[in-house]
Structure 1
Amino acid sequence: MSDSLAIVNPDSPPKEKLDIDIVSKDQEDLAKRQLTFELFSRFLECTDYDMIEKREIDQMIIVKLLESLDSKDAGEREFTKILLRRIYFKFDPLRPYIRHEINNVFYRFIHETENINGMTELMEFLNEVFRKCNDLPNDEQKNLLIKIIVPLHKAQSLITYFIPMMKCTLLLLHGNSKVMGDYINGLLKIWPMVSSEKEMMFLDEIYKIMEKIGKEEFEQIQLPMFRRIAKCLASPHMSVAERALRMWSHQNIVAHIISNNEVILPVMFPTLYQVSKEHWSDEVRDLVYSITKLFLKMNEKLFNELNKNFKSEREKEKALELEREERWNKVMEMQSNRSQCLSVDIDLNSGLVDHLKELVID
């Protein structure tokens, strides 16, 4: 009786005991889930697997596993990923459904809420799937790249799953190179404008793709890509500028630049000229100067022509700026003269008014 009264007695603080009960209950639930996972794992590893009816593993189990993958516990997510992987590789008929449900998780993350755990584990799972048996149809690969992976770059939590996602991307593009142009154009359209950290990740990914890009795909994206590279090159953030300069460090990329220098050089020249003279980092200026000399060797005639035109345009701009400044000074002078005239008129008028007042008083 006293115990029951103690429970409802407002003077007795039950909070500490309640916290202990909650913790112990959570630990108990976690232990039960771990035991369930372990039994299920042993079931999947059964040596007499051929005797097990395949109907024992159905779509509902996949749904429950994906729900478990949203757990806040990293160990539970890892174990869930292992189970999902074993089911995927043992049950061929379930593979399309597993990919479909994973895509639904991605769509919910993109369009509804970013508060979903397990994105890293899902990317790691797909990475292993694509490495061992990349049997996705081309349409499904394109859909995954363009409608899922590209939008996933916009999330604030991109850094948590970026590396496994980039590995998935490279594996998919390796098997379907025709999508490279659409994929890079997709990244260029959502390029981060305020986050240097995300900008560096984008540049790293594009560099990895460009290492193996073909001639046709390169020509498809060269104009928009090098416009963006030029802006990154002029970035005041030194690491962003250095990552943009890294495009000239790989043999395959340089070969494509040389083959298409007549298109790329006019896009890059104004930025190369300004950065080589105005960037605050000596290291960036030195690297840009080296690239400028490389372009000069590629096409000296075009380089000299662009240099002449650029200097001519700069002189015209300076002349226009000087002309605008002179016009502004004239306007300010006229305004000053007008203000002085108005001041004199006011003084005269005020003197006349005072004189009339004196006459009236007299």
Structure 2
Amino acid sequence: MFNKIMKRGQRKPSKSSEAIEAPIPTAAPPNVIVNHASRTAAATTQPASLATVPQNTGVVEVLPLLKDVPLAERHVIFIRKAQVCCVFFDFSDTMKSAREKEIKRQTLSELVDLVQSGSCKMNEIMQEELVKMISLNIFRSLPPASHENTGSEGGDPEEDEMFMDPTWPHLQLVYELLLRYVVSSDTDTKVAKRYLDHSFVLKLLDLFDSEDMREREYLKTILHRIYGKFMVHRPFIRNAINNIFYRFIFETERFGGIGELLEILGSIINGFALPMKEEHKLFLVRALIPLHKPKCVSTYHQHLSYCVTQFVEKDYRLANTVITGLLKYWPVTNCGKEVLFLGELEEILEVTQPAEFQRCMVPLFKQIGRSLCSSHFQVAERALFWWNNEHIVGLIADNRHVILPIIFDALEHNIHSHWNQAINGLSYNVRRMFLEMDTKLFEECQRRHEEKEAMAGGLEEQRLLAWRRLEEFADRANG
């Protein structure tokens, strides 16, 4: 009996098991596959041969080129090729399933060329299978971020080693295929929006958290094209991006694609019609301005500054709202962020009208006065560079009676007490500019400053005298 059992276990494999096989892809989740009524309608209106969708066997087979296939059978081969591209491989071992990987890569490349050339008109079933294949490939669990592996709070993105997704040789072709499908002139938006629906867009936005910069660049281009082509999706996309920003600002402060999303929004804001909708103003107040709060603002500040400045250029009345918001999130101990804020404020003031400037100039220059006195020379230097901007100097000159008394003490402190010689020289130049603007006002400010210094000196003497008396009293009590 034991020998019989052993012989059964040593049976030779069947010929069917020797075919080239790869891991069979798991079925897509219900919210990935787009189910809709048009599928049934298409099946009833088209011939039986068109309505038949071949089942995916999970086998990577070599199929003939579509250009060599008769037109009547081309749709069937197209769907079979799409199903071949649904098979996944282990890219941790470059030698494993090398032939099957190359077959899939060539198949994807052929599909890209086909969609780009428009040589094959895709019916609805073909489009659904194409989007299903794309969804299965790109909608995946992203690998853990570097800070999750190391436990660090986050490092310098320029110093950190850039993450390279090992599946990129296939993934890039899938993204290229999606891009060509979206931008193709043969793609009917009324049909395509059934497959590129809200669920698809949400999953696309989640992928912006990828650490691979190449993937985020493709996502940026594709989402921008979807926004431009599918007008029905525009409010939903803006709202979904809002939610990502809210979660990033108030919960996680971790999301890889904030800069790319802001880059898309910069183009969107540029196209806003006037008068601006209340929805867009709320987006500025509730999302863009609070984006200055996170510690990692330097990674996306350039795009954020552009978006905020676009709002002020569109509607000058928003200048006071923006400047007040920046002052609310002004960094206290982060000198690098403070330099960024000073640069952004300079860009905003260049497009600010005098009336709006007068509404916020008092709190603004109180903060500038504190920046002028900063012991960090880059902060003080960046603030002093404002006086190299002709538009800002014009605004200051028109309101010098309010501004000079606020910052005069800071200028005098820098001239006499700052450790950096460059700050001494720049402060002296600004002081001389005010003297040339209005000698009488300058002399009045100087007189007040001297009185303050004298009063401060008297108070210091009184403080020292009080301590001396306390010491004498303590000595007598102990003596």
What is the TM-score of this pair, normalised by structure 1? 0.83
- Deviation for aligned residue 1:234: 0.6
Please state whether the residue corresponding to 2:300 is helix, strand or coil. Answer: helix
CA distance in 1, matches of 2:166, 2:411: 63
CA distance in 2, matches of 1:319, 1:45: 76
The residue number in structure 2 matching 1:71 is: 210
- What amino acid is aligned across from residue 177 of structure 1 in structure 2? Y
The residue number in structure 1 matching 2:303 is: 164
The residue number in structure 1 matching 2:113 is: none
Alignment match of 2:402 (pick from 253, 263, 278): 263
CA distance in 1, matches of 2:289, 2:268: 19
CA distance in 2, matches of 1:129, 1:50: 23
- What amino acid is aligned across from residue 129 of structure 1 in structure 2? I
Tell me if 1:208 matches 2:347: yes
- Deviation for aligned residue 1:86: 0.9
- What amino acid is aligned across from residue 414 of structure 2 in structure 1? V
CA distance in 2, matches of 1:50, 1:328: 86
- What amino acid is aligned across from residue 177 of structure 2 in structure 1? L
The residue number in structure 1 matching 2:436 is: 297
After TM superposition, the structure 1 = structure 2 runs for residues 141-220 of structure 1, keeping only pairs within 5 Å, are 141-220=280-359
Tell me if 1:39 matches 2:108: no
Deviations 1:132-189 (A, max 9, x none): x234843233222221112111111111111111111111221022111111111111
Structure 1, unaligned stretches of length 5 or more?
Answer: 5-19, 341-362
Query: Could you tell which deviates more after superposition, 236-245 or 170-179?
Result: 170-179
CA distance in 2, matches of 1:112, 1:48: 42
The residue number in structure 2 matching 1:353 is: none
Q: Describe the shift of the 1:275–1:93 C-alpha distance in structure 2 as closer, same or farther (beyond 3 A).
A: same
Runs ≥4 residues deviating over 6 A: 25-28
- What amino acid is aligned across from residue 37 of structure 1 in structure 2? Y
Alignment match of 1:104 (pick from 226, 229, 243): 243
- Deviation for aligned residue 1:29: 5.6
Identity of aligned residues (%): 36
- What amino acid is aligned across from residue 175 of structure 2 in structure 1? F
Deviations 1:204-263 (A, max 9, x none): 000111112101111011001111111110111111111101111111111111110111
- Deviation for aligned residue 1:32: 5.1
The residue number in structure 1 matching 2:427 is: 288
The count of aligned residue pairs is 322
- What amino acid is aligned across from residue 186 of structure 2 in structure 1? D
Tell me if 1:60 matches 2:229: no
CA distance in 1, matches of 2:178, 2:466: 83
CA distance in 2, matches of 1:170, 1:227: 22
Deviations 1:310-361 (A, max 9, x none): 2122212212221221232122122212322xxxxxxxxxxxxxxxxxxxxx
Which one has the bigger helix percentage? Answer: 1
- What amino acid is aligned across from residue 231 of structure 1 in structure 2? R
CA distance in 1, matches of 2:301, 2:351: 20
CA distance in 1, matches of 2:338, 2:312: 21
Q: Is the 8 A contact 1:120 1:160 kept in 2?
A: yes
- What amino acid is aligned across from residue 317 of structure 1 in structure 2? A
- What amino acid is aligned across from residue 459 of structure 2 in structure 1? L
- Deviation for aligned residue 1:275: 1.4
- What amino acid is aligned across from residue 99 of structure 1 in structure 2? R
- Deviation for aligned residue 1:50: 4.2
CA distance in 1, matches of 2:227, 2:372: 44
- What amino acid is aligned across from residue 263 of structure 1 in structure 2? V
- Deviation for aligned residue 1:61: 1.6
CA distance in 2, matches of 1:336, 1:22: 82
- What amino acid is aligned across from residue 302 of structure 1 in structure 2? L
The residue number in structure 1 matching 2:366 is: 227
Alignment match of 1:117 (pick from 238, 256, 273): 256
CA distance in 2, matches of 1:23, 1:179: 52
Please state whether the residue corresponding to 2:209 is helix, strand or coil. Answer: coil
Deviations 1:95-119 (A, max 9, x none): 1111111111111111221122211
- What amino acid is aligned across from residue 276 of structure 1 in structure 2? I
Q: Describe the shift of the 1:56–1:331 C-alpha distance in structure 2 as closer, same or farther (beyond 3 A).
A: closer
Q: Describe the shift of the 1:52–1:321 C-alpha distance in structure 2 as closer, same or farther (beyond 3 A).
A: closer
- Deviation for aligned residue 1:269: 1.2
- Deviation for aligned residue 1:30: 4.9
Q: Is the 8 A contact 2:311 2:318 kept in 1?
A: no
CA distance in 1, matches of 2:467, 2:303: 57
When the two chains are superposed, the root-mean-square deviation of aligned CA atoms in Å is: 2.3
